[in-house]
Structure formats: structure tokens, C-alpha cells
Amino acid sequence: MGLFLEKVVEDGDVYYNITKGGYALVVVLALIAFATISFFKNADGKGKMSVKQITVSALCLALAFVLSNIKLFKLPMGGSLTVFSMFFVTYIGYLYGPRVSLSAAFAYGLLQMIADPYIISVPQLLCDYILAFGALGLAGFFHNSKAGMLKGYFAGIFGRYVFSVLSGVIFFADYAPEGSSALGYSLTYNASYIGAEAILTIAVMAIPAVRVALHRIKAEALEKSVRKEHQTANA
């Protein structure tokens, strides 16, 4: 562990910082995760992902990462309300399906671990960064269903919420206020920022012009005719 994580003891609290070797490993893993996208078949199953489709995925991932650093508020023990950052990870799933979205979400979790890590153990690292953010990739399983963009978003953020709550119960139970249960506290704590961002995002998605624009982007991203995709979205 010393090669990738460095133990720190401060005021009786024990946590870990990522070493230079750890950062290098995370970057390599993120690049490998994203590079695997080029080997997947595209959404219609007729050939590999094109350069344009890979580029769109990369842009969505980059936009999600940038927006994740625009925090409307940040909670003291981790978690923050950001501006639509989770949506753009789930949007990759809406565009290209589960294999691409799960790979992109895994890469996104690794990027989050680099940007703002809080690590007390390897299992907690896996739960909070790999599983919680990776769950956003569940959106891809709804890419061909009716209202797939909205269903996928709900699936992705709910998956993240479940793992974040689980992390709170298992690893941060001692932070629950006296007299309250670890589960109840974790449910409320994580809902305060994940739920708030979901409400804000869904409100924006409900705007007709935004919804039409997102469907047009999907049509372009899949290299289909915009008219055909628009007709399909409104069917």
C-alpha cells in the first residue's frame, strides 16, 4: 500500500494520501478504461465505435469532470452539490449503451479520486469512487427504452446514492449524531446533495428546448439523420 497510498495520522484521525505512484496508477487505469471504448460495437451493433463517437464520449466525460468542480455547496464529510456533472456521465449511456457508459463511469470515478480524494481504507476507496461513480454507468441499460434519457439518469444517480449510503453506514457510522442511527443519517446526508442535484437537473431537462437539443445531439452523435432521430424520440 505504501507505493500508492501514504498513511497520515492527524488529531487521532487516520486517512491516506495518494502518492505519486498512486496518481500514476490511477491515470493509467483511467486511460485504459476509456481506451476500451474503442473496441466496443456502437449502439446499433454494426461496427466499432467511430472516432466521432469516441470523441463525443470524451467530451461528455470532460464536461462532467469540469462541472464536478463547480460546487454550489460542499458538505464537511464529503459530497457536494454540483452543476449537472452526473448527468453528462449518464448521457454517455443514453448515447451508446451500457458497455461504453460503464467504462466511462469507471474512468470518471478514477478522475474524481484524483481531484478530491478522501480515503480511510481501500474498501472505502472502492465503495466511494469505483462503485458509487461507476454506478452512473447503469444509465446505459436504458439507452433504447422510451424516455431512456430520464430513466437512465434516475438509474445512475440511484446507484450512486445506494453505494454512498452504504459507505456512510459501513465506514463513517461514527460521524452520525448522538441518538440517530447510522443508516438514517447516511440516507439523509447523501440525499441532501445527490437529491438536490437530481431535482435541479430534472427541472432543466423538463424544458422542451433542452430536451429537443439533447435528442438532436444524440442523433448527431450516432451519426444518424437528425430528422429520423427526432421522429423516433417523439413517437
Ordered by start, the domain boundaries in the chain are: 5-233
Whether the Cβ atoms of residue 18 and residue 119 lie closer than 8 Å to each other: yes
DSSP one-letter code for 117: -
Please report, for residues 102, 119, 129, 151, the alpha-carbon distance to residue 114 in angstroms, rounded to integers and kept in the order given: 19, 11, 10, 29
State residue 234's pLDDT score: 47
Q: Identify the sign of the CA torsion 104, 106, 110, 113.
A: positive
Whether the Cβ atoms of residue 37 and residue 206 lie closer than 8 Å to each other: no
State residue 28's pLDDT score: 92
Listed in sequence order, the DSSP H helices in the chain are 20-35, 51-68, 85-96, 98-115, 122-125, 132-134, 148-171, 182-205, 208-221, 226-233
CATH class of 5-233: mainly alpha
State residue 1's pLDDT score: 62
Query: Does the reported pTM lie above 0.75?
Result: yes
Q: Identify the sign of the CA torsion 64, 66, 67, 71.
A: positive
Whether the Cβ atoms of residue 70 and residue 88 lie closer than 8 Å to each other: no
State residue 183's pLDDT score: 96
pLDDT by position in tens, the chain (length 235): 677 899 888 877 888 889 999 999 998 998 898 888 877 766 655 567 778 888 889 999 999 999 998 888 888 777 888 989 999 999 999 999 998 999 999 999 999 998 878 899 999 999 999 999 999 999 999 998 999 999 999 999 999 999 999 999 999 998 888 888 999 999 999 999 999 999 999 999 999 999 999 989 888 887 653 344 444 444 3
State residue 40's pLDDT score: 76
State residue 50's pLDDT score: 79
State residue 150's pLDDT score: 94
Class of residue 93 by CB neighbours under 10 A (exposed 0-12, middle 13-18, buried 19+): buried
State residue 149's pLDDT score: 94
> Cβ atoms within 10 A of the Cβ of 64, count?
26
Strand partners, 32: none
d(CA 85, CA 61): 9
Strand partners, 119: 16
Residue with cell 464529503: 78
User: How many Cα neighbours within 13 Å face the side chain of 13?
Assistant: 11
